[in-house]
Structure 1
Amino acid sequence: MKKFTLNLRICLCALSCVIFMAFSTQVVLDEEFAYLQKKLCEHYDSSREGKEIKRYELNVTNSGFCRYRRYFSNGKVEYFSFNLIKFSGIDYYGTDKSGHLFLRTKGEDVIVQTYNDKKGGDIDSMACYMTIPMKDIEPQDLSDLSDRLVKMNAQLLAQK
């Protein structure tokens, strides 16, 4: 009887550890999504877009998508989106004062949509990177962003 209760206790402990670990992964991912959203919005450079951009939206969702939408003053809308599972790396071109952040994917995994364009109409296409204008970003911030994106990519792939 003692051996049975010992085995039962071991099984219950293992089961509770598995349950706690399953929920902790989602909490860690939510924190990573929030951090990424905060850093991208904090360093976004709206002055580089010029007066033709009325407003923008830059979102990292809980489902693992990075979305960037630009609204132009002439009514045109550009939309870029990709799943962080497809993330492959980042490149930054510029100085610590201003530059462009390239979020690269494994293939042509970035959805690019253009709406209300008077010259070209509505266009749907795919790309292998998303470009975001940045300002006042230190090399350490870029390194941290890259490390976190790689870690999030691995966690999202493990969940799938």
Structure 2
Amino acid sequence: MKKFTLNLKICLWVLSCLIFMAFKVQSFIDEELVYLQKRLAELYDHTAENQEVTRYELNVTNSGFCRYKRFFSNGKVEYFSFNLVKFKALDYAGTDTTGRLFFLTKGEDVIVQTYNDKKDGDVDSMASFMVIPTKKIEPKDLSELSERLVKMNGQLQVQK
């Protein structure tokens, strides 16, 4: 009977550790998503966009999607979205004052949609990268952002 009780205690202890670890992983992912959302909002350069862009939305959801939407003055809307599980690498073209941040995916995993385009109509397609204009970005910011995205990518893959 003592052996059974000891085994039961060990099983309960292991089960409680697994439950606590599951909450820790989710907490880590939530913290990283909040950091990514905040950092992208700080780095985004709305002055680099075309004058026809009236507003934009740049969101990182708690389900692991990065979404970028641009609204033009003529009514056209461009929408880009990809799951961070599909993230491969981060690339940057520009200077430390202005540039473009490229989110590269493993394949054609970026959803590209265009609405209300009077010239080409509504278009749905796929791409292998998403680009956002940035301002005042340092090399250390790029490396930190890239490291966090890779780490978060691994955690999201383990979670699924």
Letter in 1 for 2:85: I
Gaps of 5+ in 1: none
Whichever residue aligns with residue 11 of structure 1, its letter is C
Structure 2 unaligned blocks of 5 or more: none
TM-score by length of 1: 0.97
Query: Which aligned runs of 4 or more in structure 1 are off by greater than 4 angstroms?
Result: none
Task: Give the aligned residue type for 1:95.
Answer: T
Aligned to 2:122: 122
Tell me the matched-pair count. Answer: 160
Deviations along 1:61-117, one digit per CA (max 9) or x if unpaired, are 011100000001111100000011111001000111110000000111100000111
Q: How far apart are the structure 1 equivalents of 2:82 and 2:138?
A: 25
- Rounded to whole Å, the distance in 2 between the matches of 1:4 and 1:64 is 43
* Partner secondary structure for residue 63 of structure 1: coil
The alignment partner of 1:104 has SS state of: strand
How far apart are 1:5 and its partner, in Å? 2.5
Which whole-Å CA distance do the structure 2 matches of 1:125 and 1:14 have between them?
47
* Residue 146 (structure 1) aligns with: 146
User: Residue 11 of structure 2: SS of its match in structure 1?
Assistant: helix
CA distance in 2, matches of 1:127, 1:10: 50
Alpha-carbon separation, structure 1, partners of 2:5 and 2:108: 56
What is the percentage of aligned positions where both structures have the same residue? Answer: 71
> 1:136 — aligned with what?
136
**How far has the Cα of 1:4 moved from its partner?**
2.8
Q: Secondary structure at the match of 1:118?
A: coil
What is the CA–CA distance in structure 1 between the aligned matches of 2:126 and 2:151, rounded to whole Å?
Answer: 25
Q: Following TM superposition, by how much is the alpha carbon of 1:3 offset from its aligned partner in structure 2, in angstroms?
A: 2.8
Give the distance between the partners of 1:83 and 1:150, measured in 2 at CA.
Answer: 13
- For 2:70, give the aligned amino acid: R
Task: Please list, as runs of the form range in 1=range in 2, the aligned pairs for 1:2-81 lying within 5 A after superposition.
Answer: 2-81=2-81
